[in-house]
Amino acid sequence: MSRQNRYLQESGTTAIIWIAATLVAVPFFCLMGDLLWNGLNHLSFSFVFSAPQNAGREGGIGPILISTLFILGVCMGVALPMGLGTALFLAEYTRHDHVPGRLIRGSLDVLAGVPSIVFGLFGNALFCQTFGLGFSILSGGLTLACMVLPILIRTVEESFRAISNEQRLSAAALGLSKPTTIRTILFPAAMPGLLVGVILGLGRAIAETAALIFTSGYVDRMPESLMDSGRSLAVHIYDLAMNVAGGNPHAYATALILVSLLFIINFSSSRMAARWMSFNQLPA
């Protein structure tokens, strides 16, 4: 290949990569620009903390924010221990090619691709009706937990598998029991992966609409317990945009709050992971 052709090939490849990366970034910046342009002037202290009035056209999103946080709390409170336990089972107590592990992994992969509306109907049938929890924050949180479990489990399992086997052998060679090895050595080493799983899970949960309409309901009052119905931010945005004439300005402002929440969650988790990594990998 001549020198000129090689130069052209290299420049062409670099240009294609740059264009692809830019095209990916464009929708994000357009979306953020649209949200800021239409939502920023409706944001205020009272909007964040006051109750909605006139079907959400006026007032704020205080109770909706609280309901969302409750739903996320229930979701992660259930998904984290279950996800961690299942990931440990898959990574530490079964071989990669064993039947139980393959069965669980296969079903998780299918679950990860199930549309959220199906989870909503399932949650409604199981939690709201069969378990008698009704339209409640608890039903919504549990349904979301089912949704985020696949992604959480696979991420955490991979982070356990990424730990060098020599660490396990070294621990065993010191006479450490398996529970001690998991608790003191494997768990801290897998922490960054666990945080990534939590970020991905929270991201999916906080943005969910379809599954929550059928489980946690529409009520925009301040929840008094987990058995109360509660409207999440995403459901509120959907309702204002689709069902409430003149609701768009507050829908934009609510979307801005939701995206900000996502930013806060991502940023704080990344900081935690970075702190963790920096402790473990200080230069000599």
Partner 1 sequence: MDVVQSTPRIIPDPEERSGLRAWLPYPSTEPCSDPVPHIRAKNLSIAYQGHQALRNVTLEIHRGCITALVGPSGCGKTSFLTSLNRLTDLIPGCQVSGNLHMHELDVLAPTTDVLQLRRTVGMIFQKPTVFPFSIRKNLELPLREHGTYDRTLLASAMEKVLQQVGLWDEVKDRLDHPAQALSGGQQQRLCLARALVLAPDVLLLDEPCSALDPLSSGIVEDLIVTLRGYVTVIIVTHNLAQARRIGDHIAFFWSCDGVGQLIEYDTAQAIFETPAHELTAAYISGARG
Tell me which residues touch partner 1 (CB under 8 A): 95, 164, 166-177, 180, 184-185, 188-189, 279-284
Determine the Cα–Cα distance for residues 249 and 259; give it in Å rounded to an integer: 16
Smallest gap from residue 125 Cβ to partner 1 (A): 41
HSE-up of residue 42 (Cα within 13 Å, Cβ side): 22
Q: How far is the CB of 198 from partner 1 (least distance, A)?
A: 20
Residue keyed to tokens 């940023």: 267
- CB closer to partner 1 out of 132 and 283: 283
User: What would the two tokens of residue 242 be?
Assistant: 């689709």
Spatial distance between the Cα atoms of 252 and 119, rounded to a whole number of angstroms: 27
CB closer to partner 1 out of 17 and 172: 172
Minimum separation from the CB atom of position 89 to partner 1 (A): 16
Between 111 and 176, whose beta carbon lies closer to partner 1? 176
Beta carbon nearer to partner 1, 71 or 186 = 186
> C-beta of 173: minimal distance to partner 1 in Å?
4
Q: Which is nearer to partner 1, 6 or 98 (CB)?
A: 98
User: What is the smallest separation between the CB atom of 274 and partner 1, expressed in angstroms?
Assistant: 14
Q: Beta-carbon neighbour count of residue 104 at 10 Å?
A: 16
Instruction: DSSP for 228-271, please give it.
Output: S----HHHHHHHHHHTSTT-HHHHHHHHHHHHHHHHHHHHHHHH
CA distance 126 to 102: 26
Question: What is the C-alpha separation between 90 and 153, in angstroms, rounded?
Answer: 9
